[in-house]
Amino acid sequence: MFRSVLIANRGEIARRVMHSAKALGMRTIAVYSEVDADALHVAEADQAYLLGPAPANESYLCGDKILEIAKDAGAECIHPGYGFLSENADFAEACEAAGITFVGPSAEAIRAMGLKDAAKRLMEDAKVPVVPGYHGDHQDAEFLAREAARIGYPVLIKAIAGGGGKGMRRVDDAKDFAKALEGASREGARSFGDGRVLIEKYIEQPRHIEIQVFADSHGNAVHLYERDCSLQRRHQKVVEEAPAPGMTDEVREAMGAAAIAAAQAVDYRGAGTVEFIVDASSGLKADGFYFMEMNTRLQVEHPVTEEITGQDLVEWQFRVAAGEELPADQHELHIEGHAVEVRLYAENPAKKFLPSTGTLHRLKFPNEDGHIRIETGVTEGDEVSVYYDPMIAKIIAWDTTRDRALNRLEAGLHALEVVGVKSNAPFLAKIVTHPAFRNGDLDTGFIEQHLDALVPQDEKPGAVEKALAATALLCHRQGEAEIRAMGSSEPASPWEALDGFRVGGFSEETLKFSGEHGFEVAARYADGEISLLIDGVAHEVEGELSDEGLAAVIDGVHYSAGVLWMANRLVLMHGGRSYDLPLENPLAPVLVDEGNAAGLVAPMPGKIVSVLAGAGDKVRRGQPIIVLEAMKMEHTLSAPSDLKIDQIKVAPGDQVDDGASVVTFLSP
């Protein structure tokens, strides 16, 4: 076994490879771009080397630089993960020439499967079923039009070097063929440097089912069953599961045998995925699947296979690359339970899935256990940049049946807390709960067909969310009141209370939340209990706020919610959604621009009673700084966040106007 490995990747896959490498006793070497200097995969590696600037073509795609680092660091092997250099035959060749093992197939196998037309001719020779079509070198437009007519419409035009849906066009009628061909060829040339195309029969109700294969250098080859990747958007996978819904032993055996034949046709070594298009118009059949392509690397969705087989596929990769035989024979492998994976992305489904960049102010995942698995490359406080894929994490759920696994996944998605960027979590939750998906009625057009039902609208907070927000605000203010009371000469004074106390009136106050979905809640206090009047309905509430969030009881029902305070906003996270609720409070401390510093201003005219901090002091959010007397009451101005005081601009006895600057802070 190897003693050291350089992982030529980043993010969650770099961490995933590192986990298995460390378990095998290997020294792990990371590489990183300038923007990834503080990334998790860098912190967790035994050594880490800077590659270069953020753009991938100046860092993670620089094979020569990576090889130079590998030599300097004494790496015995390089694991490419997926993406970047993982299917780069020239890089695999360069590794071998440098005497460093490439953890993956040979350069010859990568090249053989890299071009779709050549790969399909290989599969035809190996008796692997392929979609009826034309995969030849003749690229004359009129000839290709005749071939399309021979195959029969609808047809699919595909760039031979394509991937990710680029260079692909569906054509339903002969009159549209020429324009579609021109577009596919142009996109293929622009994206892959090759404008050649192939033509295939378009399967009307296609499912995308792939088989995980493994082969070693001793002539052994096995499959580790199938994964259904039919739920796609723009040819990009969104949900993956194993085993495939509706799969029979007969079809599984036929597909597994075909996948092994495909691997053996190119003398394959290591992990690979043979992808099939399946005609689901009349159910899964042993003669109803066709070879699409082979991915000569580990797949993003490999965890679902690991969950149902109990095998560590990355460990298998290392063992095969080290010259060992496969860890198990076919008869030793079996399926246990069901696993589903979703990809959590920083993107906005309501705006055509545009990527969302920014700081992850809050990132909280469901607890990992025997049923939930999280793979991520980021943590709270990290930046989602424009340079790389905006995937935040993969969330994998396993249980004994598909229904139970989906229930686990649904609960996990509802427990997610993501603030700072938009995420597709609500979109994923709607997929997981959609009746057709739960019934296994799926194909590659599922998301497009149900898009209106799946894309979450900008939902207003309901009564529960309003009650949770109000309860969180009251708990927060109560905590601040207790801090003030400890520094007061009369801690039991009604002026220190937050119960709506007034002389000759009821104990009641109005809590105001502004913003697009602003609302008001009337809080009533009696005998130590609180009721909230929301949209004309009274609700009895109690709650406790901690670092873990809000634990509340509303009308006898227990709820939990995430709470994040950002300046004068409360961000409530509940049911997998976040609600950004600005606080409409005339006494709330407001940070304003004070030139080179941020400052606090007086919320109303009044007299400065006392100053509780001084210049240079570091203050924490909620810490009292100024006590202001106004309207015959004392009001405490507290730090809105953790800051350092630059200047105190007032003194006890000073009269101040509304909006007067009283404190400045050093720029955060």
> Which of 625, 661, 659, 628 has its CA nearest to residue 642?
625
Angle, in degrees to the nearest 10, between helices 402-415 and 425-433: 150
The region, left, alpha or beta by phi > 0 then psi within -120 to 50, assigned to residue 332 is alpha
pLDDT over threshold 80, residue 426: yes
Same domain for 232 and 119:
yes
Give the mean model confidence (pLDDT) for residues 527-550. Answer: 91
Give dist(CA 349, CA 450) in Å, integer.
Answer: 13
- Find the CATH number of the domain harbouring 652: 2.40.50.100
For residue 89, how far is the Cα from the chain centroid?
A: 29
Among residues 534, 551, 582, the one where a domain terminates is: 582
In sequence order, the 6+-apart residues with CB closer than 8 A to the CB of 579 are 461, 465, 469, 517, 571, 572, 573
Together in a domain, 90 and 137: no
Q: How much is the pLDDT for 398?
A: 98
Domain count, the chain: 6
**DSSP characters for 230-247?**
EEEETTEEEEEEES-TT-
Across 461-487, average pLDDT? 83
For the stretch 612-641, pLDDT in tens is: 999 999 988 778 899 887 655 667 888 887
The mean pLDDT of 170-196, rounded to a whole number, is: 92
DSSP 479: H
Closest listed residue to residue 629, CA positions, set 639, 637, 621: 637
Q: What is the DSSP letter of 652?
A: T
381 and 488 in one domain? no
Residue 613 is classified by DSSP as -
Helix (H, G, I), strand (E, B) or coil at 604: coil
Q: What is the overall mean pLDDT for the chain?
A: 90
The confidence score (pLDDT) of residue 588 equals: 52
* Residue 633 confidence (pLDDT): 61
CA count, 13 A, side-chain hemisphere, 595: 5
Q: Give me 547's structure tokens.
A: 């670092």
**Of the residues 289, 308, 336, which one is the last residue of a structural domain?**
336
SS3 assignment, position 183: helix
pLDDT of residue 563: 94
Q: For residue 339, give the amino acid letter.
A: A
Q: Tens digits of per-residue pLDDT, 71-124?
A: 999 999 999 999 999 999 999 999 999 999 999 999 999 999 987 778 888 898
Regarding whether 80 and 23 lie in a shared domain, the answer is: yes
3-state secondary structure of 14: helix
**How many Cα atoms within 13 Å fall on the side-chain side of residue 32?**
21
| Predicted confidence (pLDDT) at residue 500 exceeds the cutoff of 80 | no
Which residue stretches of 126-248 are H helix?
A: 141-151, 177-192
Please give the average per-residue pLDDT across 225-238, as a whole number: 94
Maximum average pLDDT range among 196-205, 254-263, 502-511: 254-263
Q: Which pLDDT does position 667 carry in this prediction?
A: 65
Active site residue 297: yes
Measured in whole angstroms, the distance separating CA 562 from the mean position of its chain's CA atoms is 18
| Closest C-alpha to 292, from 255, 250, 244 | 255
CATH code at position 246 = 3.30.470.20
**Residue 620 and residue 571 in one domain:** no
Q: At residue 576, what are phi and psi to the nearest 5 degrees?
A: 80, 5
Average pLDDT rounded to a whole number, residues 421-428:
95
Question: If you search the block for the tokens 């953890």, which residue do you land on?
Answer: 103
Between residues 91 and 656, the one the model is more confident about: 91
Phi, psi of 146 (to 5 degrees): -65, -40
Domain shared by 117 and 90, yes or no? no
Across 27-41, 487-501, 562-576, which has the greatest mean pLDDT? 27-41
Residues 363 and 420 in one domain: yes
Q: Answer whether 568's CB lies under 8 Å from 580's CB.
A: no
What percent of the chain clears pLDDT 90, i.e. is strictly above it? 71
- The answer on 36 and 91 residing in a single domain is yes
How far apart are the C-alpha atoms of 214 and 414, rounded to whole Å?
36
- Residue 219 carries which side chain, given as an amino acid letter? G
Q: What percent of the chain has pLDDT over 70?
A: 92
Closest CA to 290 of 203, 160, 172: 203
Residue 65 dihedral angles phi and psi, to the nearest 5°: -65, -40
> How confident is the model over 456-473, as a mean pLDDT?
90
Among the candidates 182, 201, 220, a domain finishes at 201
Examine the pLDDT at 502 and tell me if it is beyond 50: no
Q: Give kind and range of the element (H or E) at residue 607.
A: strand 606-611
Report residue 191's pLDDT band, with 50, 70 and 90 as the boundaries: confident
What's the confidence (pLDDT) of residue 487? 57
3-state secondary structure at position 663:
strand
Q: How far apart are CA 526 and CA 372, in angstroms?
A: 44
From 7-11, 112-116, 136-140, 471-475, the region with the lowest mean pLDDT? 112-116
**Quick one: CA dihedral 233, 236, 239, 241, positive or negative?**
positive
Helix (H, G, I), strand (E, B) or coil at 529: strand
532 to each of 335, 464, 525, 526, how far by Cα in Å?
52, 11, 9, 12
Radius of gyration of the chain (CA): 30
Q: What DSSP designation does 283 have? A: B
Q: How many CB atoms lie within 10 A of CB 1?
A: 14
pTM greater than 0.85: no
Q: Report whether pLDDT(495) > 50.
A: no
Cβ neighbours of residue 391 closer than 8 Å, sequence gap 6 or more: 11, 12, 343, 344, 345, 346
pLDDT band at 590 (very low <50, low <70, confident <90, very high): low
Tell which wins on pLDDT, 490 or 363: 363
What one-letter code names the amino acid at 51? L
Listed in sequence order, the residues at least 6 apart from 378 whose beta carbon sits closer than 8 Å to its beta carbon are 11, 39, 40, 360, 363, 384, 392, 393
**Do β-strands 27-33 and 47-52 pair in parallel, antiparallel, or remain unpaired?**
parallel
How many CA atoms lie less than 13 Å away from 478 in the CB half-sphere?
A: 15
CATH of the domain at 506: 3.30.700
Give ∠ CA 107-214-263 in degrees, rounded to 5. Answer: 60
Gap between the terminal Cα atoms of the chain: 49
pLDDT at 355 over 80: yes
**Model pLDDT, residue 632:** 53
Q: What is the DSSP string of 80-101?
A: --SSTTTT-HHHHHHHHHTT-E
Stretch (H or E) spanning 197: strand 197-201
70 and 116 together in one domain: no
Phi, psi at residue 197, to the nearest 5°?
-135, 165
And the tokens for 158?
A: 């595909």
Catalytic, out of 10, 207, 252, 297: 297
Count CB atoms within 10 A of the CB of residue 159: 27
Note the Cα 148 to chain centre separation in Å: 40
Average pLDDT over residues 276-284: 89
Residue range(s) defining the domain that contains residue 576? 463-582
Do 62 and 160 reside in the same domain of the chain? Answer: no
Shared domain for 522 and 569, answered yes or no, is yes
Q: Are 512 and 647 members of one domain? A: no
Average pLDDT value for residue range 13-20? 98
Looking up residue 188, the CATH number of its domain turns out to be 3.30.1490.20
pLDDT confidence tier of residue 369, bands split at 50, 70 and 90: very high
The pLDDT value given to residue 484: 59
Nearest residue to 220 via CA among 319, 103, 344: 319
Q: What is the mean pLDDT of residues 125-133?
A: 89
Q: When comparing pLDDT for 482 and 651, which is higher? A: 651
| Lowest mean per-residue pLDDT among 325-329, 375-379, 384-388 | 384-388
Contact assessment for residue 248 and residue 214, using Cβ atoms and an 8 Å cutoff: no
